[in-house]
Amino acid sequence: MAAVDPHSFTDSTHPLTTHISLSLYFDFPSSTILASTLISLPTTHSGPFTLDTRSLSITSVLDPTTLTPLPFTLTPPIPHPVFGQSLIITLSNHSQVIIISKTSASSSALQWLSPPQTFNQAFPFVYTQCQSIHARSIFPCQDTPAARIRYDAKLNIPRQLFAVMSARHVDRRAPVVGSGEARGACDDSLWCGDDRVVDDFLMEQPIPPYLFAFAVGELGFRDVGPRSRVYSEAAPAVLDAAAREFAGTEDMIRVGEKLFGPYDWERFDLLVLPPSFPYGGMENPRMVFLTPTVIKGDATGAQVVAHELAHSWTGNLITNKTNEHFWLNEGFTTYAERRIVEAVQGEDRAALNIGIGWKGLVDAVERFKDNMEFTKLKTNQEGVDPDEIYSEIPYEKGFQFLWRIERQIGRPAFDEFIKKYIATFKFQSIDTDTFLNFLKANVPGIENQIDLKLWTEGIGIPPDAMEPVSSIYTKIVSLANEFKLGRMPREDEVADWHGQEWELYLENLPKYVEASQALALDARYRLSESKDYEVKVAFLQLAIASKCRDYFGEVEKTLKEVGRMKYLRPLYTALVQGAGKDEEKIFAKRVFSEARDCYHPIAQGVVETILRKYV
């Protein structure tokens, strides 16, 4: 077997899937999905054909023409449990195959929420998070970004619920008796129940499997532009706040088109998920998923939207071939996001964004000081769970690399280069060497001006990386340095600060301060009560490091009300990392045991890894 991807069982000698047709029956009482997956290949194939699965029950594999069973085996879950099991099907001159399967209640891609866990507490809710390698826990597939697929899907759900997908919504209708549309997922009597409805979806552009996404629940929406709606559970307060926060979406799309070329996905809709969503946003094409923590009331949450929008060009149109080249997705997108923010919100706001990112990069390098492999842009991830090494490195070091190229050749030339890059590789999955060869071919001599190998294969932060140059950035960092000398910022100095300014300030304070200093800072500015979680969590990290137990109640509340890993990872780590923290470790274990069921499975795994390492 010749591997295509260190995180996939896909064999390079096998044809890559071109289309998948799904029939999915949602069984909320058991938190499972009954699935029929019709896989289409570009050519006929004979012999073994390997797919990725994880925590799936495979009922049967069928020839779609005759519906006769085909031989298959499931291998043991090796080499790492998160990779799951390979499904090996024996084909004989087949270009299509049907797999009948059932998800488990512990599917790593799915979070099933009971009514009490939702905004309205009236209906259940389920949503996906397939990045990086979790699509295989919903349906068998070649779960690698090297395989780009088109798909159609029939979602059979309870009549009182609604579905959205990273695809065009075609129809909402009653199930058709005797049509065979369930395609073996379940009996017709179940599929065609009186209380069921089918939502049909179609994705006509080839996407990597990690961008497969859906959500099902009691959904409402508000229009925020000619090609954008914001969806959430049908809670008017959430919808109205989201509509205000993201009112500038169309302006950002137009800026993106001006910078990077046409928007190729028709719609750019947004779904605000329940607080358990483990990321800030997920760039699913046509339907971006967002955490409610980005609704801040001052439009700064739109920067997350700018990032996910930027993925429409870098990440979704051009995709890293494997997770070892993740910077091609996130470094480019972070650069593109900041160009959009600069155009829409101004240079100072973009500089603050860069400044926060710079501190995040420094901290991420420190996190991996015992395994510097993961401070490279081009990494070796053989046998490694990509969720466990997720960090700011591909985002911020990737951004710094592209920013360095821009400074070398000038912004106008770099803008033309990016447009040509996107036009050349759209709807393709590429690796770092492909990018570097394209760079050298289109910017002659760049390898003599910038050490490209050091940037992509070297560890740590290259010497020609750069902090932002901005008066507001310099002022905030200077005030943070003065805190070390015992001076707190005056109220007039922070009168016009929003969340980002406070976040940058707190991130640049010493890691350890006296408990009395933390208490005094909070007494004046009420940072522990901030509605902006970036500010609140940055302050709570400071309080934990300062052994200021006055805030443990707020720490517990925060860990129980949100599931975003950007907050869980640093708070749990701050509680348990280091010597002499027996009380904090007991506290962290108790809070996690009580909050665990409210976290998405991916977040559960990340916290469990932290506790295993330090407790």
Binding residues for a peptide: 129-131, 278-283, 564-566
Please pick, among 308, 396, 503, 507, the residue that the annotation labels catalytic: 308
Rounded Cα distance between 474 and 466, Å, is 13
Task: State the Cα–Cα distance between residues 412 and 580, nearest whole angstrom.
Answer: 54
E strand intervals along 214-337:
214-217, 219-225, 228-233, 269-272, 281-282, 287-290, 318-320
- The DSSP annotation for 406-424 comes to HHHH-HHHHHHHHHHHHHH
Of the CA atoms within 13 Å of residue 346, those in its CB half-sphere come to: 6
CA nearest 526: which of 569, 487, 497?
497
Cα separations in angstroms, 109 against 31, 206, 211, 416: 12, 21, 12, 38
Distance CA 548, CA 487 (A): 19
Residues in contact with 28: Cβ distance below 8 Å, sequence separation at least 6, in sequence order: 112, 124, 126, 158
Q: Are strands 219-225 and 19-27 parallel, antiparallel or unpaired?
A: unpaired
Find the helix or strand (DSSP H, E) in which 432 lies.
helix 432-442
Instruction: Mark out the alpha helices in 110-227 (DSSP H runs).
Output: 188-191
Whether the Cβ atoms of residue 155 and residue 24 lie closer than 8 Å to each other? yes
* Helical (H) or strand (E) element with 341: helix 327-345
In the 3-class helix/strand/coil scheme, how is 16-73 assigned residue by residue?
CCCEEEEEEEEEHHHCEEEEEEEEEEEEEEEEEEEEEECCEEEEEEECCCCCCECCEE
Helices and strands (H and E) in the chain: how many: 19, 19
Residue 182 token pair: 């369930």
Cα–Cα dist 14/410, whole Å: 44
Helix (H, G, I), strand (E, B) or coil at 317: coil
In single-letter form, the type of residue at position 134 comes to: H
> Is 308 a residue of the active site?
yes
Task: Tell me the CB-side half-sphere exposure of residue 170, using CA atoms within 13 A.
Answer: 13
Residue tagged active-site, from 25, 390, 395, 572: 395
Nearest CA to 41 out of 1, 2, 91, 96 is that of 96
Find, among 569, 579, 576, the residue nearest to 606 by Cα.
569
- Is the alpha carbon torsion for 291, 294, 297, 302 positive or negative? negative
Binding-site residue positions: 129-131, 278-283, 307, 311, 330, 564-566
Distance CA 99, CA 101 (A): 6
Residue 30 CA to residue 202 CA, distance in Å, equals 27
Give the distance between the most distant pair of CA atoms in the chain. Answer: 79
Q: Dig out the tokens for 272 from the structure.
A: 């605000």
Residue ranges for the binding site for Zn(2+)?
A: 307, 311, 330
Which residues, in sequence order, are CB contacts of 318 under 8 Å at separation 6+?
A: 328, 332, 421, 422, 425, 426, 428, 429, 430
66 C-beta neighbours (distance < 10 Å), count: 8
- Which residues form the catalytic set? 308, 395
